[in-house]
Amino acid sequence: MSLRSRLRDLVTRPHLRVIAAIGVIVPRRLRADWRDEWHAELQHRESRLARWDRLTRHEKWELFQRSLAAFWDALWLQRRRLEDDLVQDVRFGLRMLVARPTFTCLAVLTLALAIGANTVVFTFVNALLLRPLPGVAAPQQLVRLGRQFQGKPYPSDSSYPDFLDYRQQAQTLSGIAAMSPRAFHLTTDDGAVRVEGELVSGNYFEVLGVAATRGRVLEPIDDSAAGAPVVVVSDSLWRRHFAGRASLLGGTIRLDGRPFTVVGIVDGPFAGVKIGSPRDIWMPLEAIRLASPGASAPGMVGDAAIFERRSASWLEMFGRRAPGVTLAQTRAELTVMAARLALSYPATNRRVGISVEAGLGRDVETQRPLERYAVLPFVAVGLVLLIACANVAGLLLVRMATRRREIALRVALGAGRLRIVRQLLTESLLLVVASSLAGLAVATWLTRALRGLLPERLLFLSFDLDFGVDWRVFGFVLGVGAIATVLCGLVPGLLASRHELGTALKTTRGAGWRHTTALRSVLVVAQIALSVILLVAASLCVRTLINATAIETGYDTAGVLTARMDFARQHYDEARGREVARAILERLHAVPGIQAAAFAATLPLNDGRWEDAIRRDGDPTRLQTFQNVVTPRYFDVMAIPIAAGREFSDRDDERAPRVAIVNQTLARVLWPDASAIGRRVTFDGRSREIVGIVHDIKGRNLFDPPGPMLYVPQLQSAQPNVVLHVRSTVAPPALVTRLRHEVQAVDPYLPVFAVMPLGDHVTATLTPQRVLAFLIGGFGLLALVLAGTGLYGLLAYSVTDRTREIGVRMALGAKRTEVVYLFVADGMKRAVIGIVLGTVVGCGVTPLMAGLLYGVSPLDSLTLLVVPAVLLVVALAACGVPAGRAARTDPTTALRSD
Partner 1 sequence: MGHTFLTLSTTTILEAVANGHAFGFDIVDLTGMPGGTVYPALRRLEEAGYLTSEWEAERVAHAEARPRRRYYEVTPAGREALSEAARRYRRPQPAPESRRSTPKPTRA
Which residues form the interface with partner 1 (CB under 8 A)?
Answer: 33, 36-37, 39-45, 47-48, 66, 68-73, 76-77
Contacts with 433 (C-beta within 8 Å, 6 or more apart), sequence order: 481
Per the CB < 8 A criterion, the answer to whether 423 and 396 are in contact is no
| Cβ at position 81, least distance to partner 1 in Å | 13
Cβ-based nearer residue to partner 1, 33 or 586: 33
Cβ-based nearer residue to partner 1, 37 or 574: 37
| Cβ at position 3, least distance to partner 1 in Å | 18
Cβ-based nearer residue to partner 1, 32 or 494: 32
Helix and strand tally (H, E) in the chain? 26, 23
| Cβ at position 36, least distance to partner 1 in Å | 5
Cβ-based nearer residue to partner 1, 41 or 574: 41
| Cβ at position 94, least distance to partner 1 in Å | 25
| Cβ at position 522, least distance to partner 1 in Å | 48
Cβ-based nearer residue to partner 1, 39 or 309: 39
Pairing of strands 753-757, 173-188: unpaired
Cβ-based nearer residue to partner 1, 48 or 514: 48
Cβ-based nearer residue to partner 1, 78 or 729: 78
Per the CB < 8 A criterion, the answer to whether 231 and 261 are in contact is yes
Pairing of strands 686-694, 659-663: parallel
Which residues, listed in sequence order, are joined to residue 284 by a DSSP beta bridge? Answer: 200
Cβ-based nearer residue to partner 1, 69 or 211: 69
Neighbours of 820 (CB within 10 A): 19
Pairing of strands 230-234, 352-358: unpaired
Transcribe 78-132 into DSSP letters: HHHHHHHHHHHHHHHHHHHHHH-HHHHHHHHHHHHHHHHHHHHHHHHHIIIIISP
User: What is the distance between the alpha carbons of residues 857 and 536, in angstroms, rounded to a whole number?
Assistant: 12
| Cβ at position 61, least distance to partner 1 in Å | 15
| Cβ at position 42, least distance to partner 1 in Å | 8
User: What is the distance between the alpha carbons of residues 433 and 154, in angstroms, rounded to a whole number?
Assistant: 44
Contacts with 265 (C-beta within 8 Å, 6 or more apart), sequence order: 212, 213, 214, 215, 232, 233, 234, 235, 238, 248, 249
Cβ-based nearer residue to partner 1, 86 or 418: 86
Cβ-based nearer residue to partner 1, 63 or 177: 63
**Does residue 269 have a cis bond before it (omega within 30 degrees)?**
yes
Please name the residue ranges forming H helices in 132-197: 160-169
Per the CB < 8 A criterion, the answer to whether 119 and 385 are in contact is no
| DSSP-derived 3-state class of residue 488 | helix
- Candidates 525, 539, 530, 531; CA nearest to 861 is 539
Cβ-based nearer residue to partner 1, 37 or 607: 37
Cβ-based nearer residue to partner 1, 36 or 365: 36
Cβ-based nearer residue to partner 1, 73 or 801: 73
| Cβ at position 43, least distance to partner 1 in Å | 6
Cβ-based nearer residue to partner 1, 65 or 402: 65
| Cβ at position 40, least distance to partner 1 in Å | 4
- For 300, 385, 440, 524, the CA distances from 783, given in Å and listed in that order, are 55, 9, 19, 12
| Cβ at position 10, least distance to partner 1 in Å | 16
Secondary structure (H, E, C), 389-439: HHHHHHHHHHHHHHCHHHHHHHHHCCCCHHHHHHHHHHHHHHHHHHHHHHH
DSSP class of residue 559 equals: T
DSSP H or E stretch at residue 753: strand 753-757
| Cβ at position 44, least distance to partner 1 in Å | 5
User: Cα dihedral angle (248, 251, 253, 259), rounded to 10 degrees?
Assistant: 170
Per the CB < 8 A criterion, the answer to whether 492 and 393 are in contact is yes
| Cβ at position 528, least distance to partner 1 in Å | 54
- How much is the CA Rg of the chain, to the nearest whole Å? 38
Per the CB < 8 A criterion, the answer to whether 561 and 756 are in contact is yes
AA identity, residue 9: D
| Cβ at position 53, least distance to partner 1 in Å | 17
| Cβ at position 15, least distance to partner 1 in Å | 11
- For 6, 7, 32, 33, 796, the CA distances from 1, given in Å and listed in that order, are 7, 10, 19, 20, 60
DSSP H or E stretch at residue 538: helix 514-549
Cβ-based nearer residue to partner 1, 14 or 215: 14
DSSP H or E stretch at residue 378: helix 364-402
Cβ-based nearer residue to partner 1, 39 or 216: 39
| Cβ at position 82, least distance to partner 1 in Å | 14
Neighbours of 624 (CB within 10 A): 11
Burial 528-567 (b: 16+ CB within 10 A, else e): bbbbbbbbbbbbbbbbbbeebeeeebbbebebbbbbbbbb
| Cβ at position 19, least distance to partner 1 in Å | 10
Cβ-based nearer residue to partner 1, 32 or 825: 32
- Candidates 770, 777, 778; CA nearest to 446 is 778
User: What is the distance between the alpha carbons of residues 392 and 173, in angstroms, rounded to a whole number?
Assistant: 53
- Candidates 510, 394, 390, 386; CA nearest to 796 is 394
| Cβ at position 73, least distance to partner 1 in Å | 4
Cβ-based nearer residue to partner 1, 40 or 137: 40
